[in-house]
Structure 1
Amino acid sequence: MRKIQVQGVHHITLTGADRQTSIDFWEGVLGMPFIFDQPNLDDPDEGHLYFDPGDGRLITVFTNENRLPDRKRTPTDPGCVHHLAFNVSKATFSQAVERLEERGIGHSGPRDRGFMDSIYFKDPMGLLIELACYRFEPPVGCTHADVMIAAHRIRVASGDYNIQEKHLAEAIEDLVQRSQSSLSEDRSAKNPYA
């Protein structure tokens, strides 16, 4: 038996309301360029809109002019999507509350997640959306996942409840030491001011 190895998210498709509501939310609120549309190839009564969330991957939305937005929270039963999280910069995150409130969009307020900050709100169809902002940049040649797994191991070894910034800092230091060469024989911390 062998795995089917995936290499990233190709796209996520959501069921939307009408075409304009979808464009107004995904591009007009979240800034995702509307890159193309075509019919839903499995249902000729629906449109299929494509948006770029910022990494060249795709968020797509099935639309139907007979469907109306419904902001009631989408189901969170087993097997349902709980929320979608999108990466934002620190600069954008710091403006999120103000920009949501100027549109009258209710939100959770900023939430401290230890390794990131989050804010939650619903799209026009009731799907919970998270704006997430990492509190770190991975070292060159490493990914956020590399830092997270190293920070997790440090957290577990320390007996701490959740990943905190101190675990991230130690993980980054460890990854740099393992991935980047140095002419020094002793790379331990020193005090040149002593």
Structure 2
Amino acid sequence: MRKLQVQGVHHITLTGADRQTSIDFWEGVLGMPFVFDQPNLDDPDEGHLYFDPGDGRLITIFTNESRKPMHSRTPTDPGCVHHLAFNVSRATWLQVTERLEARGIGHSGPKDRGFMDSIYFKDPLGLLIELATYKFEPPMGASHADVMIEAHRIRVEAGDHHIAEVHLADAIERLVERRQSTLSDDRAPKDPYRRG
């Protein structure tokens, strides 16, 4: 038996209501360019809109002019999507509260998640959306996931409840030590300010 190894999210498809609501939210609120438009090839009564969330992958929406929003919150039963999270820059994240409130969009307020900051709000159909920004940049040649797994190991070793900034900083240091060679015989911390 062998795995079916995935290599990233190809796209996520959501069931939308009317076409304009989708365009107004995904492009008009979240700034995702509307990049492709065609009929739903499995249902001639539906449209299929494609948006770029910023990484070249796709969020797609099935639309139908006869569908109307029906939830104040989409179902969270087992097997349902709880929320979608999108990455934003730190500069944008610092503006999210103000920009949501300027549109009259209710939100959770900022949430500190230890390794990232988040804010939650609902799309016009009741789907919970999270905008998140990492508190760290991975070292060259490493991914956010590389830092996260190393920070998790450090957190568990320390017996701490959740990942915090100290675990992230130590994880980045460990990754740099493993990935980058040095001419020094000893890479241990030093004190160049000590007085003899």
Same fold (TM over 0.5): yes
Task: Using the aligned pairs only, state the percent identity.
Answer: 80
Partner SS, residue 50 of structure 2: strand
Alpha-carbon offset, residue 113 of structure 1: 0.2
Aligned to 1:47: 47
Write the distance in 2 (CA, Å) between the matches of 1:66 and 1:39: 15
Alpha-carbon offset, residue 69 of structure 1: 2.6
Aligned 8 A contact 1:87 1:133 in 2: yes
Aligned residue pairs: how many?
194
Write the distance in 2 (CA, Å) between the matches of 1:67 and 1:107: 25
Write the distance in 1 (CA, Å) between the matches of 2:109 and 2:122: 13
Aligned to 1:139: 139
Aligned 8 A contact 1:86 1:132 in 2: yes
Write the distance in 1 (CA, Å) between the matches of 2:9 and 2:61: 16
The answer to which of 63-72 and 145-154 deviates more is 63-72
Gaps of 5+ in 2: none
Correspondence list, 1:117-156, <5 A: 117-156=117-156
Aligned to 2:179: 179
Partner SS, residue 86 of structure 2: strand
Aligned 8 A contact 1:110 1:119 in 2: yes
What do residues 125-158 of structure 1 show as CA deviations (whole Å, max 9, x unaligned)?
Answer: 1000000100000000000000000000000000
Write the distance in 2 (CA, Å) between the matches of 1:152 and 1:162: 8
Partner SS, residue 157 of structure 2: helix
For the pair 1:4 / 2:10, whether they are aligned, the reply is no
For the pair 1:163 / 2:128, whether they are aligned, the reply is no
Aligned 8 A contact 1:71 1:122 in 2: no
Task: Give 4+ residue runs of structure 1 displaced > 3 Å after superposition.
Answer: none
Correspondence list, 1:62-81, <5 A: 62-81=62-81
Alpha-carbon offset, residue 70 of structure 1: 3.7
Aligned to 1:18: 18
Instruction: State the TM-score, normalizing by the size of structure 2.
Output: 0.98
Alpha-carbon offset, residue 67 of structure 1: 1.1
Aligned to 1:88: 88
Alpha-carbon offset, residue 25 of structure 1: 0.3
Write the distance in 2 (CA, Å) between the matches of 1:108 and 1:153: 30
Aligned 8 A contact 1:70 1:124 in 2: no
What do residues 91-123 of structure 1 show as CA deviations (whole Å, max 9, x unaligned)?
Answer: 000000000001110000000000000000000
